[in-house]
Structure 1
Amino acid sequence: MSDRSKQDYMPIIGNGEKMIEPIQKSYGGGETVYPRSYNEAKNRVKKQVEEVKLRIEKIPEEKRMKEVVITLRLNEKFLAKSYTPETLFRQTQLQNIGSRRWVFQKDDELKYSKMHFVKIDQEGLSSFDKILSSDEALLSDSFKNDIRKIEEFSLLDVSEVIQGFDDDWREGAVEFVLHPYNEENDVMVGKFKENLLNQGVQENTIKIREYDDGPTFVSAVVDIKVIKNIADFNPLRTVHPLRLNFFPSLRGSTNDTNLLLPPIGKAISQIKLGIFDGGINSSHPFLTKYSKENKSVNTVAIKEGIEHGTAVAGVALYGDLNQYEANNRIEDPVVFVESFRVLPLSDPTDLDLYEAIDLIEEVVPTRHDIDVYNLSFGPVGPIFDDEISRFTYSLDTLAWNYRKLFVVAVGNDGERPSPYNRIQSPADLVNGLGVGAYTYDYESTNWKRASYSCVGGGREGCKVKPDLCAFGGDSRFPIHLLNFADDKTKLLSAGTSFSAPIIASKAAEIIGRCNRFTPLVARALLIHSAKNPNLVDEQIGYGIIDQSVDDILRCDRNRVHIIYSNSMNPTGLAKLPIPLPLNISISSDVHFSWTIVTLSKVNPLHIEDYTESAIEDTFYPHSKKYKFTKGNKSKILNIDLDKIKIQELLNGGYKKSSLPATNSPERYQTELARRNDLKWDTVVKKWKRMKVNSLERPFLVLHGMGRNGSSNRIDYAVVVTINIPKYAGNLYEDILNEFRILEPIEIKNRNEVMVPVK
């Protein structure tokens, strides 16, 4: 940015967190309706307990532990975390060790509820049965109500263990997920491994990774007979296939002459972007000064890996090479690539990626100078709602522990029939960005989702996937890439492998050019800046990003963005004033939009409750208008203008709301989202259009929520946009003049992040 353009540039406004105020809010709820009486529920559960005890006796000793895992399935009315039968768990020997979604048919309709995995031995079951047979008067109401929530008490069916296998699957790599057994975990894993070996599985294909307070992941190469024979191993939670295309094909790649000249290399950027891939040609004239090869897996690099990794690194540094005019010299890139080769693996037949994940888990905690990482590879095949892969769990945990941003390609199977066109792991992570690809319609030249780009939805905790899309090209409009072999030719190709580093590079640049911005703020800004004519959908998520970082960080005279970045406790409340000037005189509508992004600790044992924290938001347009209610009657009145009427209502038994009247803005909803309202997602994006006379000192209230016993602080970033198209003056200046605690963010220009080469 030149000095002159910088003078005309209106940077995004910060310090929104300094406006935040504490607040109190009252909550109420209606009476819970249970599907059956306690006596009916008790008799039902007692019968099911007896059936489970008989089934346990038939499980071979080598396929179970002393404590057996049983499913406790709740009625569909009790899906919310608040309905977890905690009293039942406390007053019996039923140990809750996880949960996931339960899908079942009832009254010719598909229903969704939750199944809890509980661990208990035969003595504990007998004790539970004895409690159920005791005098009802001796039991607490909360215990009896927990029993009334239960729909089914049973063992997990084999069909619920085996997930994601095609009808023609016969042999290959799979991932087993085992329940946690704490101090007995080694014994349990030993039994499981022995079962595999006894069925002829080669020991050198078996890999085991355990996580504290989490599941055990086991990968192995097996055939279909092994799957069927081991699916009834009681501590086994699930098994799903692992498919890996090590280096996603450079789709229909062709070579073309490269008429561009490499940068001179007078200065090197201080902004670093980590790339996990197949390695790079570090001597390539376009890479040699702007990238570095770091610690790699203990294997020899291969041509396909270097070709893919070099192309990905080139996009991160320069974007689509087709954007530059022929015979021009490219500017020194604004980011520097730190490459980590994680492919190929030491065993060419090894399809589980555990070796690659091990290196990622080793690198990320030690590289304090890298905030953003790109991953353009991963297992092939759609994600599963009811289980999490080790790869996804690993990235989500690293993002939470070290406050990093992972940007992941969603995969190139978008042309397959549903559900095989769904996004692929680890793009389903909830603490990062899953990136799809867009291209152009040949007839209209308007942009559209590239047909190969995998679609959503995402999993619980981040339903909207892909998060974003960037240009990935197709056969008619290919993306132009660096050729690893030389700088005289370039590759013409397409794929989400190349749209992801475009987003990763922008995220790194946002953080590097704004000292006060964190990876969480960068993630919020990118999602907030995305453009989708449908607001949001499962094709392109929140939309496409085709703007430069300068555009993302820019305000206009009548369109202003404000950043709030802070933390809160679970159950905490915070009031975020929206800085709308008080005495605006306009006739046009005011357009609001806001994006809230949080970091959440994740729990792989509770897939239905995967995110342990979230923020619920409520929009209050007018700080003086309150709701007054009496029974089913309600009125909204202005506390300044309607004082006499309000006093009459209060005298007549009406009650005033604790906060001003609110309304519900537009937001993305799917069938499940309408039920859950996406309230446990790590991303919230909403829009609201209002008449100016219905606004006065509008604000948001954020409500922190924790579950699974979480007491961790919730980090969040909020971007609010106020857009008044017909505003006569300068909205940007009016906001800064009236709300003096706010100030423009200091944005470094390119020269300020570059270090001259001596």
Structure 2
Amino acid sequence: MPGPYNFLLGHGERLVEAVTLPSGGGPTTLPYTEEEARSRLRPQVRAAVQRFAQLADEACPDGQVVGVLTMHPQFIAKSYHPQQLLDDLGLSYVGARNALVQPEKWTNPDRRPAPAETAELFISGRRAAFGLWAKRMAVGPLPGGDQLQKVEAFRAPTAVERQRNMQRLAPGTPLIEVGLHLPARIREKILASFKRYVESLGGTAEITHALQMPGIGFVPVRVAPEAVDRLSQFAFMRVVRPMPRLRAFHPVERAATAHGLKASSLPAVGAVDPAVKIAILDGGLEEDGPMAPWARSHEAPHVGDATSDYLQHGHNVTSAALFGPLVPGQSAPRPFGTVDHFRVVDQDPEDDLALYRTLDRIDTVLQENPHELVNLSLGPDLPIEDDEIHPWTALLDSWLSDGKRLLTIAAGNNGTLDRPSGNARVQVPSDCVNALSVGAADSTRPSWRRASYSALGPGRCPGMVKPDVLSFGGDQKEPFFFAAPYGQDAPPMSLGTSFAAPSALRMAAGIRAHFGSLLTPLALKALLVHCAEDNEQDTSERGWGRLPGALEDYVICPPYTARVVYQGKLAPKQTVRMFLPLPETVATGDLQITATYCIACPTDPRAPRNYTTSAFEPTFRPNMERLSASGNVPKSEPFFQARDYMSEQELRSDAHKWETVKHKTATFKADRLKRPAFDVRHVFRLDDLPPETSPEVSYALIVTLKAPSVPDLYDQVVRTYSARLEILQPLVEIPIAVRP
């Protein structure tokens, strides 16, 4: 029975049932006839074949090249992937990216052509195979059945389109970053051929430092700027850009001393739960500093000497993870857990490979340490790009794909830069879809906004809502205060997303200390998003909202509400019905439903547009007794999407179909609800996962029911569902101040 506090309710997955739904669909209307497809595409294929013939043999590994197939915008779903066409032509898919195209016409002849997002597919094969394709376009049936009637264009990629920001390249022989298509079957041949090709241009490819993911790799290259155009003709090159700098800390994050204020006194007791361990990947921590009772210092393999600036940054990040923002003159709160601080950066002015070395150290730390809670407040000094996935993002997302870690990442402090150019957007790797990207709020008070320096969204699709959340990061009028070093009476102060991120992770550590391992790291992420407070700003400014700074806002159900946690896994193509715990006795007034879905899934860095391999499609069914016209299923109503039966284009842009986080609040009349539920289908779109990767996807669903006219809603839910739901009782005592 309920106690003095209305704690979270767990095991919502016991309200989940497998269900089989009728499949829909009908005949497909095509935008182009067979003859239109032939007349449109034949000259394009011939022109591409001519460009392929002009490439030097050294630029074509194993005699193979890569072309770009642009799909019609109405045919970008997985079911329209032109596999039959590729098989028929002896070609292979090696990747994809976003594109904006104005088709010649739509399937609806009354619709005027307009620019629309689509997918460009990179396809590889021998030059002879593309030549045969050109011949087959002249006579006989089209290859691939009707799949060419769903294609908008085909071309050979140019050297210029592969280049990004090369005007910023420094004189001399600077280091650049080259992304390569690396299909597994000829991976080694491509790398060896690329190394020889770079050497033929008088450059050096640092193959030993290459970062390789399934299907794609990134190689540091030293070459003269005047050779970049010829370098960009390498057939399997995807992108080339200046090597980004490492942003270990931003100038706004440089700490100052708050003279005239008294530093916070630190606790004289250990952590609430020493078993709750946070891994900080940052600039280092003095071993015998004031936070030694709760934090240990470690050095990543092959890291160089520490620097005072990085150690100061590491000190402040660790303070934020242990205590959150401190109040000068007041005692610091007792830490919820302990910190293992791994120093992953050094400062070597001659090391232009710092970005790659740092990521390699991070990879090693994650491989060798089982921490479930991790913070990263550094990364490349590079805003995200819509059509490319950076190796930092790809590698970290792969580590998080099983949902067994919660990684908070600082969104970046570039929010004051030019917004139209994209320079103010969230920085790599805070675009990770499986991590929690954290921006900075300017205040702890009720009237808060995004801090002006905090990086902006949107992210790319999928991952449109970035940063995911804001946490207090400090402002000129309200700085973020830290634990003072030994021998210093006044507190250090600063501001930045580097401190907002570990402060957010501190709240997850508090929930974990409170409930133990009852909640998975993925459920902790979902709960943080679910409890975020919104304001009038757009999601590109605030994400899903600002995180509350008090533990009770997460672990206790507010008045008139019941909050339930569902956790589990779904196999591909599986559909389940997730019932909401609404007692039949609640039959009058309004009922507000807030739902937050989080999934963790494998990712495909070859295809930014199709980066997430899985999607959960929730369909809300408010009343199990009101059937659809066919009589097969209960009627549905829009919840996460604007309306039912949306096109793939609309689902991607409006409902964020392939997002790993879905969050929405909707209000219904209680008398219209009868055993309400979400029917959730797991959509899977990648057939060539690495052998060790499971296609099963972990999920966490948080649901809050709020009935302003039912003060005992929580008690009614507990009584009605006592055989399945459980009150999540605290494992350790944490002082909680419940506000009236």
Q: Determine if the TM-score, normalized by the shorter chain, exceeds 0.5.
A: yes
**C-alpha distance in 1, partners of 2:604/2:652?**
23
With over 3 angstroms needed to count, the CA separation of the structure-2 counterparts of 1:51 and 1:331, relative to structure 1, is closer
**C-alpha distance in 2, partners of 1:581/1:751?**
31
Superposed, 1:337-736 pairs within 5 Å as 337-344=339-346, 348-350=350-352, 352-368=354-370, 370-401=371-402, 403-418=404-419, 419-440=422-443, 446-484=447-485, 486-514=487-515, 515-534=517-536, 537-586=539-588, 588-628=589-629, 655-656=630-631, 658-665=632-639, 675=653, 677-709=655-687, 712-727=695-710, 729-736=711-718
- CA contact 1:246–1:344 (8 Å) conserved in 2: no
- CA contact 2:282–2:345 (8 Å) conserved in 1: yes
2:292 matched to 1:288? yes
Residue of 66, 75, 78 corresponding to 2:75:
78
SS of alignment partner, residue 118 of structure 2: strand
Per-residue deviation, 1:112: 1.6
- CA contact 1:248–1:377 (8 Å) conserved in 2: no
**C-alpha distance in 2, partners of 1:36/1:667?**
30
Superposed, 1:72-471 pairs within 5 Å as 72-104=69-101, 109-133=114-138, 135-136=140-141, 143-165=144-166, 173-201=175-203, 208-211=209-212, 213-220=214-221, 224-241=225-242, 242-251=244-253, 253-256=255-258, 257-266=261-270, 269-285=274-290, 287-296=291-300, 297-322=302-327, 326=329, 328-344=330-346, 348-350=350-352, 352-368=354-370, 370-401=371-402, 403-418=404-419, 419-440=422-443, 446-471=447-472
Q: Provide, for residues 156-212 of structure 1, a one-character-per-residue CA deviation record: whole Å limited to 9, x for no partner.
A: 123321124566866754321101143432332233233434444466x77632536
**Amino acid of the residue matched to residue 38 of structure 2?**
K
**C-alpha distance in 2, partners of 1:148/1:283?**
69
Residue of 14, 37, 44 corresponding to 1:18:
14
Per-residue deviation, 1:27: 2.7
Moved more, 391-400 or 36-45: 36-45
RMSD of aligned Cα (Å): 2.7
- CA contact 2:246–2:379 (8 Å) conserved in 1: yes
Q: Provide, for residues 606-627 of structure 1, a one-character-per-residue CA deviation record: whole Å limited to 9, x for no partner.
A: 2211111121101111111122
Per-residue deviation, 1:226: 3.7
Identical residues among aligned pairs (%): 27
The count of corresponding residues between Structure 1 and Structure 2 is 706
**C-alpha distance in 1, partners of 2:539/2:180?**
34
Q: Provide, for residues 512-545 of structure 1, a one-character-per-residue CA deviation record: whole Å limited to 9, x for no partner.
A: 4322111110011011111113596110110000
**C-alpha distance in 2, partners of 1:187/1:345?**
35
SS of alignment partner, residue 36 of structure 2: helix
- CA contact 1:280–1:484 (8 Å) conserved in 2: no
**C-alpha distance in 1, partners of 2:404/2:160?**
38
- The aligned counterpart of 2:47 is 51
With over 3 angstroms needed to count, the CA separation of the structure-2 counterparts of 1:732 and 1:184, relative to structure 1, is same
Residue of 27, 33, 43 corresponding to 2:29:
33
Per-residue deviation, 1:24: 1.4
Moved more, 253-262 or 18-27: 253-262
**C-alpha distance in 2, partners of 1:662/1:673?**
16
- CA contact 2:195–2:204 (8 Å) conserved in 1: no
- CA contact 1:667–1:685 (8 Å) conserved in 2: no
**C-alpha distance in 2, partners of 1:553/1:165?**
50
**C-alpha distance in 1, partners of 2:538/2:628?**
32
SS of alignment partner, residue 626 of structure 1: coil
**C-alpha distance in 1, partners of 2:284/2:507?**
21
Per-residue deviation, 1:266: 4.8
With over 3 angstroms needed to count, the CA separation of the structure-2 counterparts of 1:404 and 1:662, relative to structure 1, is same
Q: Which runs of 5+ in 2 are unaligned?
A: 105-112, 736-740
**C-alpha distance in 2, partners of 1:405/1:98?**
28
**C-alpha distance in 2, partners of 1:168/1:106?**
35
With over 3 angstroms needed to count, the CA separation of the structure-2 counterparts of 1:486 and 1:401, relative to structure 1, is farther
With over 3 angstroms needed to count, the CA separation of the structure-2 counterparts of 1:349 and 1:692, relative to structure 1, is same
**C-alpha distance in 2, partners of 1:745/1:445?**
29
- The aligned counterpart of 2:738 is none
**C-alpha distance in 1, partners of 2:14/2:247?**
48
**C-alpha distance in 1, partners of 2:508/2:165?**
33
- CA contact 2:583–2:716 (8 Å) conserved in 1: yes
**C-alpha distance in 1, partners of 2:362/2:390?**
15
Q: Provide, for residues 135-165 of structure 1, a one-character-per-residue CA deviation record: whole Å limited to 9, x for no partner.
A: 33xx79xx33201111212111233211245
Moved more, 602-611 or 159-168: 159-168
Q: Provide, for residues 269-288 of structure 1, a one-character-per-residue CA deviation record: whole Å limited to 9, x for no partner.
A: 22100000000122112x11
With over 3 angstroms needed to count, the CA separation of the structure-2 counterparts of 1:523 and 1:224, relative to structure 1, is same
**C-alpha distance in 2, partners of 1:338/1:375?**
13
**C-alpha distance in 2, partners of 1:696/1:250?**
53
With over 3 angstroms needed to count, the CA separation of the structure-2 counterparts of 1:671 and 1:498, relative to structure 1, is farther
Q: Provide, for residues 47-68 of structure 1, a one-character-per-residue CA deviation record: whole Å limited to 9, x for no partner.
A: 2222222111111122222011
Per-residue deviation, 1:134: 5.4
Moved more, 665-674 or 392-401: 665-674
Q: Provide, for residues 603-656 of structure 1, a one-character-per-residue CA deviation record: whole Å limited to 9, x for no partner.
A: 11122111111211011111111222xxxxxxxxxxxxxxxxxxxxxxxxxx32
SS of alignment partner, residue 84 of structure 2: helix
- CA contact 1:259–1:488 (8 Å) conserved in 2: yes
With over 3 angstroms needed to count, the CA separation of the structure-2 counterparts of 1:228 and 1:471, relative to structure 1, is same
- CA contact 1:373–1:406 (8 Å) conserved in 2: yes
- The aligned counterpart of 1:744 is 727
- CA contact 2:571–2:695 (8 Å) conserved in 1: yes
- CA contact 1:430–1:462 (8 Å) conserved in 2: yes
Return the TM-score normalized by structure 2: 0.90
**C-alpha distance in 2, partners of 1:534/1:54?**
55
**Amino acid of the residue matched to residue 733 of structure 1?**
D
